């Protein structure tokens, strides 16, 4: 009686895995060898690959494939060579698909931290996926939220807020209307953390709309450039008087020159609406000196925008850019500065074995 490829796959997989998991020698017994030889002689190896290889651990996969290849006659090897090359794209696709959702772009974990001595009310826009776009964060508190890939938006801090039980109120800086949960961007001046999440993320901290709080963006466990962006200096203490926003004699924010003077030169518009003509001004240079990794004016891109892939982020108020930031990903504590990256699914190791074997044909 000839076994179907389904029956063969299940029986072979169970026997080999049982032997290896029990610490038995990887050498296959005669019955299994005969079954592999039978499969190869019928030119069914590619079908067995489709059925069982994507679900095998890498060491089992390598054992089966190496035994099946090196037991072939010359004629069988040539035939297998043609079949392997024909089905290589399909096999690689199956390995990727069988790895499940972990291979897909996963949501980014945002950990928003308040290291300030005052309460901060983070605003997020668009904020449908982020606690409605706004919440209270007391000194020392952190909030962890998931940001979907494809999201493009901004996060900022609001200060001096008072909200009622109905979610309505006011803020001294960064207000998004009268709402706790922001339905629009915040009012200037406000320090902004900006994101565009994709296969390759783009992020920055912008002072183009002014400054109200130190804010940093720290990528955690990503791949690529992944530099820390932000402004960890407190510009309120060095703000030029003509840009200062005061409350009861205390500087609570620092406006941008564009916001104050509203000229084409400061706002990079009109004849100044390109990076060749719109150059740093006295005020943008003051911002840049204090915060070298933040946008100081509209065309400050080359030194201020950062990229990273597959990363989580720590968005921190009043924290030095050099400080470590941690988050929880898949119930594991991960911190910035870690040399490791999130491990790929185990089945990807099958590629390490299958490619050299197929190329060797």
- Please report where in the chains the tokens 């870690």 appear, as a residue: 338
pTM of the model: 0.66
Containing 135, the helix (H) or strand (E) segment is none
The one-character DSSP state at 330 is: T
pLDDT at 255: 98
DSSP-assigned letter for residue 309: B
What's the pLDDT at 103?
35
Quote the pLDDT of residue 83: 54
CB 181 within 8 A of CB 127: yes
The Cα 43–Cα 36 span in angstroms is 11
Domains of the chain by residue range: 5-99+345-359, 108-238+286-335
Q: What is the pLDDT of residue 82?
A: 56
Instruction: Indicate if the alpha-carbon torsion angle 149, 301, 294, 340 is positive or negative.
Output: positive
CA separation for the pair 318, 254 (Å, rounded): 16
Q: Where are the alpha helices (DSSP H) in the chain?
A: 5-21, 30-41, 45-52, 58-70, 74-98, 257-261, 264-267, 282-290, 301-304, 349-359
pLDDT at position 323: 87
In the block, residue with structure tokens 């291979």: 103
CATH architecture of 108-238+286-335: Sandwich (2.60)
What pLDDT score does 24 carry? 42
Query: What is the residue-level pLDDT of the chain in tens, covering all 361 positions?
Result: 444 444 444 454 454 444 434 444 434 444 444 444 444 444 434 433 433 344 344 444 444 444 444 444 555 555 555 554 555 554 444 444 444 444 346 789 999 999 999 999 999 999 988 889 999 999 999 999 999 999 999 999 999 999 999 999 999 999 999 999 999 999 999 999 999 999 999 999 999 999 999 999 999 999 999 999 999 999 999 999 999 999 999 999 999 999 999 999 999 999 999 999 999 999 999 999 999 999 999 999 777 889 999 999 999 999 998 888 888 777 788 888 765 444 334 334 444 444 444 444 4
**pLDDT given at position 78:** 57
The token pair at 20 is: 């290896």
């Amino acid at each position: 009686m000839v076994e179907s490829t389904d029956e063969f796959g299940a029986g072979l997989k169970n026997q080999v895995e049982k032997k290896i998991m029990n610490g038995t020698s990887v050498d296959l017994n005669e019955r299994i060898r005969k079954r592999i030889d039978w499969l190869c002689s019928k030119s069914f190896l590619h079908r067995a690959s489709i059925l069982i290889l994507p679900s095998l651990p890498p060491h089992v996969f390598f054992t089966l494939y190496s035994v099946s290849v090196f037991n072939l006659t010359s004629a069988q090897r040539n035939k297998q060579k043609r079949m392997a090359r024909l089905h290589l794209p399909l096999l690689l696709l199956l390995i990727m698909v069988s790895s499940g959702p972990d291979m897909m772009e996963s949501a980014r974990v945002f950990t928003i931290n308040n290291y300030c001595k005052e309460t901060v009310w983070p605003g997020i826009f668009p904020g449908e996926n982020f606690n409605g776009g706004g919440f209270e964060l007391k000194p020392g508190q952190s909030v962890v939220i998931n940001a979907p890939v494809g999201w493009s938006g901004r996060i900022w801090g609001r200060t001096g807020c008072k909200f009622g039980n109905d979610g309505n109120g006011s803020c001294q800086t960064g207000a998004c209307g009268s709402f706790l949960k922001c339905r629009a961007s915040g009012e200037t001046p406000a320090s902004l953390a900006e994101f565009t999440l994709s296969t390759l993320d783009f992020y920055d901290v912008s002072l183009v709309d002014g400054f109200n709080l130190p804010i940093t963006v720290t990528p955690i466990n990503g791949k690529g450039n992944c530099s820390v962006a932000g402004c960890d200096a407190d510009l309120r203490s060095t703000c030029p008087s003509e840009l200062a926003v005061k409350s009861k004699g205390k500087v609570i924010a620092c406006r941008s020159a564009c916001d104050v003077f509203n000229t084409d030169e400061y706002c990079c518009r009109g004849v100044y609406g390109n990076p060749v003509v719109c150059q740093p001004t006295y005020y943008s240079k003051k911002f840049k000196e204090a915060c070298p990794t933040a946008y100081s004016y509209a065309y400050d891109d080359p030194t201020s925008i950062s990229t990273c892939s597959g990363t989580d982020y720590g968005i921190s108020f009043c924290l030095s850019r050099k400080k470590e930031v941690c988050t929880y990903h898949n119930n594991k504590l991960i911190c910035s500065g870690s040399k490791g990256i999130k491990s790929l699914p185990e089945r990807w190791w099958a590629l390490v074995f299958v490619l050299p074997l197929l190329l060797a044909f």
